Amino acid sequence: MKVYAYYLIVALLGTALFVGCSDDKDDGPDGPSTDSENKKANTWIQKTMKDHYLWYDEIPDKEDLDLELNPKDIFENMLSDKDGKTDEKGKHLYHFSYIEKKREDTKAASDLDPSYGFQYIVYTVTNQQGNAAGYYYARVLYVLPGSPAEEAGLLRDDWIYGVDGKENNITDYMAQLEGGNASVFKVGFYNPETQRLENKPDINMPAARLVENNPFLKDSVYQIEGKKIGYLVYNHFSSQAEGKTDKAYDNQMKAIFADFKAQGVNEFVLDLRFNGGGLVSCATLLASYLAPANALGKTFSKMTYNGKQANNETIIPFSKTVAAENLDLNRLWVLTGQFTASSSEAVINGLKPYMSSVRLIGDWTVGKAVGSNTYGDNLDYGWILHPITLRIRNAVDVDDAAYSQIGFEPDVEIYEYHLNSKLYPLGDTRETLLSTALDEITGKSSFGLRSAPATPDHSSGMIPVASSLERRPNQGLIVPQED
């Protein structure tokens, strides 16, 4: 069963968690925009959307628009109801296409904001009637290496219930988790015997700073029952750190898979549970390292643009340049979650025609069989556009009909965020999703569509309602665009 709890953010939680992202009255990068500046930007936005948006025929003509409006409002008013996600009742919740201000020092806001360097889920405490009681806690999902959070000793599965003496009430402290001055975090752990959060020593959190969000969070090799099993936690599809042009992450991927190859890895677990997407070029590289050797050079994916484009279909092949590091796998285990989307889903979908088995363990994926191009990087309008411009499908033409709006169904459905489910460190063989995959690979459990606890336990009195992962950059399947 797919759970939409993370997307159903109440107004109070939205304004507290996403401070700086919820003001619809945005000024330009250097202050308030004048009407003439708005008109110039909006004329460009309207033309770009008319030319490239997948649902271009729903865009109003320029004469029918108030070009003096804020560009963000103009852009959002152009978006189709087909562009985005809906809940199980058919109510529209959010769009995939988005617009952002352009910075002077970089093309996008993304990873250049100071942070403490960790991601988390927010739980609300409910009363006996199941209604929110006004108390919120944050459960740590992972901590980035080299971050203030790592320096302070914050760990996966720590619970944060206060900052600088303020406890429980999200309006008092939760926004500070995104980054701030040096602070004292009150942390605890959940004790299943007492069914309560119990205290740990306070953590002295250093001031937020720029933290490199390296996508390779963990890589390991396990030798179990005669198998050499590779494991990779890959968190976003990026070629290099924001603002760099060195392709450092592409090179790191090559080095990681060269090491897997040297160690004789013959089975693989790919952890995409936190991966909301990114560059299609990186998705192609990753899939090429994993694919059977005889798939290299064959079609990985097909991207179809709107009918106004002269060549509206692009065929993307598996890369032949990675042959030396290619693992030549015939089956793959993928760990998935509610934030597994777009380029992550393209990897799953693109490998399916060539492998005997692509097993999904975890939660339903988002369901996003579309991608975007980026416009405005090299222009002076003050905005960057990320409209949906294409549909993506695999070599046998499986596309959005298979998983858009629904997502890929896991073969083993596991909801890992129950209170009684301990979040072991990523890569620990006791960790819920990884241990399930290892058991299947080594024959300790049999194949088949099966489920572990697959939904939140509302009877526990604590329910997950949102996550910091929702506001990360590098979401979606992105095709860079030269202006």
- Which class for 215: exposed (0-12), middle (13-18), buried (19 or more C-beta within 10 A)? buried
76 part of a folded domain: no
301 part of a folded domain: yes
Q: What was the pLDDT predicted at 20?
A: 26
Q: In the structure encoding, which two tokens stand for residue 420, read together?
A: 């009684």
Residue 210: helix, strand or coil by DSSP? Answer: coil
Q: What is the CATH number of the domain that holds 414?
A: 3.90.226.10
Which residue range is the domain that position 135 belongs to? 114-205
71 part of a folded domain: no
Question: What is the domain count for the chain?
Answer: 2
49 part of a folded domain: no
Last residue in a domain, options 167, 185, 205: 205
DSSP H or E run through 280: helix 280-290
15 part of a folded domain: no
Same domain for 254 and 188?
A: no
Q: What is the CATH number of the domain that holds 147?
A: 2.30.42.10
Averaged in consecutive runs of 10 residues, what is the pLDDT profile of the chain (483 residues)?
40 30 36 71 95 94 89 94 73 81 54 84 69 74 96 96 76 75 92 85 95 95 96 95 88 98 98 94 97 98 91 94 98 95 94 97 92 89 93 82 76 90 95 96 75 52 77 61 48
309 part of a folded domain: yes
Q: What was the pLDDT predicted at 4?
A: 40
Same domain for 193 and 276?
A: no
Mean pLDDT, the chain, integer: 83
Same domain for 311 and 433?
A: yes
**Residue 55 and residue 414: Cα distance in Å, rounded?**
36
Q: The tokens 């929110």 sit on which residue?
A: 132
Same domain for 301 and 449?
A: yes
Last residue in a domain, options 176, 205, 234: 205
Same domain for 220 and 200?
A: no
Same domain for 337 and 268?
A: yes
475 part of a folded domain: no
Same domain for 198 and 221?
A: no
End-to-end CA distance of the chain: 43
Q: What was the pLDDT predicted at 16?
A: 32
- Which class for 140: exposed (0-12), middle (13-18), buried (19 or more C-beta within 10 A)? buried
**Residue 53 and residue 373: Cα distance in Å, rounded?**
9
Same domain for 195 and 284?
A: no
Last residue in a domain, options 205, 229, 263: 205
Same domain for 247 and 351?
A: yes
88 part of a folded domain: no
Same domain for 281 and 409?
A: yes
Q: What was the pLDDT predicted at 87?
A: 60
Same domain for 155 and 292?
A: no
Q: What was the pLDDT predicted at 139?
A: 94
Q: What was the pLDDT predicted at 75?
A: 95
Same domain for 399 and 433?
A: yes
